[in-house]
Amino acid sequence: SLTLTPMMCSRLLKHADEELAVPGLAVISGGIDRMVMEGLGTDNIRDVIAYPKNQQAQEPMTDAPAPVDPGQLHDLGIAILPTTRTP
């Protein structure tokens, strides 16, 4: 099992900030789901991630992604252009 001491966390955050130019919280957030997975003893990360996706890349609780109302696009100043195919 993995045990993180405060010193190890401090060194990890310092290295991420100074050497990798990555904010320290990005390093922490990238591994929390895997630590929870290990702690719960599950083999599937989908059991612990906050927004699980199915094999069609849809989020089952909200059925996202879903079509957007044209009024919402207009309010935000977004236009969806038709795709053009080149031979």
pLDDT of 53: 73
- Alpha-carbon distance 52 to 3, whole Å? 27
pLDDT of 19: 63
pTM, two decimal places: 0.32
- Alpha-carbon distance 44 to 22, whole Å? 27
Positions of the chain with pLDDT lower than 50, given as ranges: none
Grouping H, G, I as helix, E, B as strand and the rest as coil, residue 64 is strand
pLDDT of 71: 94
Helices (H), 2-58: 6-18, 24-40
Torsion of CA 62, 68, 73, 74, to 10 degrees: -120
